Amino acid sequence: MSMKPAVLVTGSSTGIGAVYADRFARRGHDLVLVARNSARLGALAERLRSETGVYVDVVPADLTDPQDLARIEQRLREDARIGVLVNNAGTAIQGGFLRQHGEDLSKLIALNVTAVTRLANAVALRLAEAGEGAIINLASVVGLAPEMSATVYGATKAFVLFLSQGLSIELAPKGVYVQAVLPAATRTEIWEHIGVDVDTLPGVMEVSKLVDAALVGFDRREPVTIPPLPDASQWSAFDAARQMMLPNFAQTEPAERYQPAA
């Protein structure tokens, strides 16, 4: 087994998660691969073992299932070899808010929000006690853009961004690095799930390019990595504007524009 920390990757049977698994294996990290599709997981694990020589553990699990989620939480709490969590598993659903159904929305939130939060929570204490480790959370630029007409999906990704930023503030002083990765449109199977022909979309990034760019941000220890954004100063300005508001939130009286007319 590798002397480097093992990496647990959720949603690793295909797409972004599979490429993360490939890249960390080639960096010499043992892997714990988690996804629903056991056949794909097995094939990926076999290839990575053969090509890289790392140890690969396959753990089929549906993170929207409470028992499966609890099982992965336990693994993260107890397996001291795991030093990096890649919180990649996520989904989207068809249609706008008025056409979406409560059960589908609950499953979306269960995977994109609840599982991400609980898995981060499961590993964070152990990493903080060790004084090292990393959590990578896959968010999305959609979480910054309500104009993109993906209301609930975007809200879940805005949550992941906020969660990551909050965790970074809490955990960085304890030696734990937290990265939020914000892809834009990426060539994955998620488009098939929502009935969109990805070839009709402009500016679609290939998965390998997305992950390789995200890992540059990882190596630089960026708290927020936005691979498709050409001008990093735009994010810096956005974040600085947000921080400039913070001192103004503590007021005993409403702002003047909200005062009742005399």
Confidence (pLDDT) at 227? 97
Say how far apart CA 52 and CA 127 lie, in whole Å: 26
pLDDT tens-digit map of 152-209: 999 999 999 999 999 999 999 999 999 999 999 898 878 787 787 888 888 999 999 9
Confidence (pLDDT) at 221? 98
What fold, for 6-233?
Rossmann fold (3.40.50)
Q: Is the pLDDT of residue 91 over 80?
A: yes
pLDDT tens-digit map of 24-61: 999 999 999 999 999 999 999 999 999 999 999 999 99
- Sheet containing 31-35: give its strands across: 56-60, 31-35, 6-10, 82-87, 134-138, 177-181, 224-225
Q: Sort 235 into a burial class: Cβ within 10 Å, 0-12 / 13-18 / 19+.
A: middle
Strand partners, 180: 137, 224
Residue environment code for 107-137, b if the CB has 16+ CB neighbours within 10 A, otherwise e? ebbbbbbbbbbbbbebbbebbbeeeebbbbb
CA distances from 111 to 15, 119, 195, 232 (A): 16, 11, 19, 30
